[in-house]
Amino acid sequence: MDREVLHQAQARMENLTKPPRSLGYLEAVAVRLAALQGRVKPELGRGAVVVAAADHGVVAEGVSAYPQEVTYQMVLNFLRGGAAINQLALAADCAVYVLDVGVMGELPDHPGLLKRKVRPGTANLARGPAMTREEAERALLAGREAARQAIAQGATLLAAGDMGIGNTTAAAALTAALLDLPPERVVGPGTGVGEAGLKRKREGVERALARLRPGMDPLEVAAEVGGLELLAIAGVYLEGYEAGLPLVLDGFPVTAGGLLAWRLKPEVREHFFAGHLSREPGHRLALEALGLRPLLDLDLALGEGTGAVLAMPLLRAAARILHMATFEEAGVSRGG
């Protein structure tokens, strides 16, 4: 983040041929993009989304509306181009990278899949630690590796996506732990679990939180509650931060990974843009904690990185604002 360019871009914004602040929140987005790229006229090219996938032992508690095998089946769908993320990414000039950090079952070799399974799903977070600290570190490193690949292949804008049946339970536990919130504020319907499922979700999260001890570091907390893909997502953002890229958050599980990255490296927040506001109730609280305003509010609750990728054309458009003519350049009269 280049503070000098930040101020220059702010000054330029005030001289562009439009009434002050008439492009609303997009003006602040444009200025921040300029500061991140170190140029007053920022430009965003191709985007990339790393979709991290893993399974969750907590599904044994009956916390999801869908069976566990959907995680594996959806990864195959990603590789064949049949999922929402594939089609939305095509519309957004965004490459899709799929990362297996913990899917149950052996996936086929595929050029679009990075196979870095740490373990076949987490242990049940309602009954004991989801994974060891060493496994948490490996999942985070796998996310870093996937991001490195995306960056080496030309990404100028980086998002993470998630796929994991049961992961809104893990995300709720991680969000509650990192933000010190009560479970009932962050547990929501996920894929559409009913009232009884919601109660089991809340209880599972409560049991996981009861195992946490003061003084645990963020990685220890994440190992306790999971999930593997949430750690990978933190890794994606940490790598993207180190490469200086603008980083786009998605919905509730991805933002839980973003919160973890922020706890590990507070400066990462300066690179974050909130792609959208998810229907999952805890998402608003996570974005508020990060001080981020969502670019879109479309009642999405899908994950996969869909809300982040949908915001990419808007981020590209925001960058173009600083390429407008100033009043002086265009010979347009200023107002009083």
Ligand X SMILES: Cc1cc2nc[nH]c2cc1C
List of residues contacting ligand NCN (CB under 6 A): 64-66, 162-169, 190-191, 193, 250-253, 278, 280, 283, 301-304
Distance of CA 174 to the CA centre of its chain: 14
List 23, 70, 96, 209, residue binding ligand X (CB under 6 A):
70
Closest distance to ligand X from the beta carbon of 279 (Å): 13
Give the CA distances from residue 240 to residues 3, 90, 150, in Å, rounded to whole numbers and listed in that order: 19, 21, 10
> Helix 218-225 to helix 133-152 angle, to the nearest 10 degrees?
100
Residues in 98-127 at the binding interface with ligand X, rule: CB under 6 A: none
Size of the site for ligand X (CB under 6 A): 8
Is 191 near ligand X (CB under 6 A)? yes
Helix (H, G, I), strand (E, B) or coil at 53: strand
CA distance 233 to 174: 13
Nearer to ligand NCN, 155 or 310 (CB): 310
Closest distance to ligand NCN from the beta carbon of 303 (Å): 2
Nearer to ligand NCN, 156 or 167 (CB): 167
| Active site annotation includes 43 | no
Closest distance to ligand X from the beta carbon of 201 (Å): 16
Alpha helices in the chain (DSSP H): 3-15, 25-37, 69-80, 84-91, 133-152, 167-179, 183-186, 195-210, 218-225, 228-242, 252-264, 281-290, 306-321, 327-330
List 74, 101, 287, 300, residue binding ligand X (CB under 6 A):
74
Nearer to ligand X, 192 or 244 (CB): 192
Give me the residues that bind ligand X (CB under 6 A), please. Answer: 66, 70, 74, 163, 191, 302-304
